[in-house]
Amino acid sequence: MTKMSNEVIIDHKGRILIPKEIRDKIGLKPGKKARLKIENENVIITALVSPEEFITEMEGCITQGVPIIDPLKLKNIWKPAESRENPDSAMAKT
């Protein structure tokens, strides 16, 4: 599991700036949606996969005959980028 820790400042509107290194690690891009979840006293930020990204990932996977990808591995597409690179890692915690 890769652990990263950064201190950030919350501005007067409650916003924080997620450092570029962390955004890149979990696949957050400008304009992309993210999910925030509270687990114990941690805020977990997860980059969401858009339907378009899912379709792009799926193109060519389902054909007649023998599948070219293991269907059980398809759920990996829905995981954050960090988890796809390192299956043992959990979602980024801030």
Q: Domain map of the chain by residue range?
A: 20-85
Residue written as tokens 């979840």? 37
- Local structure of residue 71 (DSSP, 8 states): G
The Cα 37–Cα 70 span in angstroms is 30
- Tell me how far apart the alpha carbons of residues 50 and 57 are, in angstroms, rounded to a whole number: 11
Strand-pair category, 34-39 with 42-47: antiparallel
pLDDT digits (tens, 9 = 90+) for 13-39: 999 999 999 888 888 889 888 889 999
pTM metric for this prediction = 0.49
pLDDT in tens, 44-84: 888 887 777 777 877 777 666 666 666 667 667 666 655 55
Contact 43, 94 (CB under 8 A): yes
